[in-house]
Chain A
Amino acid sequence: MSQENISASCLEFRRACLADPRHVSAEALAHADQCALCRAWRQRADRAEQQLTQALSAVPLPEGLNERILLRARDAAPWYAGRWQAFALAASLLITCTLGVALWHQRPVAAGDLALAAVRHVSDEGLERFTHRSEPPERFGAVLASFGGHLQAPLGKISYIHLCPVEGFGQGWHIVYLTPAGKLTLLLIPAREGAATVRTVQVEGRSVKVERAGAGYYALIADNPHTLEEAALNLKQRVRWGS
């Protein structure tokens, strides 16, 4: 740069521009309005800054960078991995306590009453919109285990799992799953004792099978008797219940 006769204000203006050219104060800019030397200096500085900015952005990106990043991250332990076990333990304790309390207060049940309550609960919930969802199979396995069941093979695509109040029967697990034969609802309802008779009934246009299992009863609900029989057989083959 050429030798110039510059004042303290000029130096201050130029320092401000050099430190942060995008955020020069109005006061400093006012100096440039009155100083031809600084206006010319600023033009040269802006041109140089533009060249530098272009050079910085011109670095070509390697092909497939995002794919490599995602692949590497997939191999890295996810953030929740270390917490899953603690979460599972806490969830198991909570489930056990909740079902334990419900079980303690539960009176003996009649299978017919339970079938009716189950169908009404399913109708009230109106879960048609949830069938596109997908729940992790291990969550279903954990729920079954908390109820005394052991899942030996998948029953189908699990689309809904929720601990719900079932009118007259306390808290129960409400599970919806899909099989090639159709949509099934499985309610796991805790009870100390009750009617041991296996019942298959038609309630309000749906087919329901109630059976003693694990820590209480399950109610399996389908839209027709054929689907129900197929699903009940599947359930028997793929879930082993503890006594």
Chain B
Amino acid sequence: MFFKSSAQREFEQVVRAWSAELYRFAWWLSRDRFLADELVQETFARAWRAWDQLQDPANPKPWLISILRNEHARHHARKQFDYSDEAPEALSLPAVDDHATQYEMENLIGSLPLSLREPFLLQTLGGYSCAEIAAELQTSEGAVMVRLTRARKALQEALIAPASGRHRKLS
């Protein structure tokens, strides 16, 4: 009780500082605004229940993102996603032109399989290094670099190619 007010103040500051980033991360994971909203709320509720376990109050983002990833996995009724370091056999992304609309971009990024999309989001939205992504996904740094390379290659090819309606294959 004595500590409640300072912990609550700290918690509220963290909510205001990181909710937007977490929401966008959740949105790109789920591509569902209602689910993203729910995931972020539950993430912070769990964080508050375990507030004394926050090890780095100056940088709570990695902790929050871990909770959110677990929540997302729980939503899919699995403890962890089934990651494979093998490349997708034939990744097919719709080609869009240089002036793609937000909707087209959403479809393009959303069409990446989760095993490529998640490290890409952690890096571009979360600002994680390859080593940090590897730690978060419990895999090797080399495997993360391969996934990121494949994700960007597929996205860039779809963006750079003229929009002819055909699909690019990631080889």
Contacts and interface: CB of A to CB of B under 8 A. Distances in A.
Main secondary structure of the interface of A (DSSP, over half): helix
A86 interface: no
Contacts of B130: 19-20
A23 B129 contact: yes
Interface string B13-42: 001100110011001100001000100111
Interface in A38-79: 44-45, 47-49, 51-53, 55-59, 61-62, 65-66, 68-70, 72-73, 75-79
A51 B2 contact: no
Interface residues of A, number: 40
A43 B157 CA distance: 14
B interface, how many residues as a size bin? Answer: 35 or more
Interface of A: 1, 15, 18-21, 23, 44-45, 47-49, 51-53, 55-59, 61-62, 65-66, 68-70, 72-73, 75-80, 84, 135-136, 138-139
Contact of B20 (A1, A61, A84): A61
| Leading 7 A-B pairs by shortest Cβ distance | A55-B105, A79-B51, A19-B145, A73-B48, A18-B149, A76-B45, A48-B156
Given A69-B40, A78-B4, A44 B51 contact: no
B17 to A, nearest CB: 10
Contacts of B4: 78, 80
Interface stretch (B66-74, B75-83, B84-92, B117-125): B117-125
A161 B15 CA distance: 32
A73 to B, nearest CB: 4
A56 B45 contact: no
Contacts of B40: 65, 69
A70 B52 contact: no
Given A44-B156, A56-B28, A79 B145 contact: no
Contacts of B2: 135-136, 139
B24 A48 contact: no
Which of B42, B124, B148: most chain A CB closer than 10 A?
Answer: B124
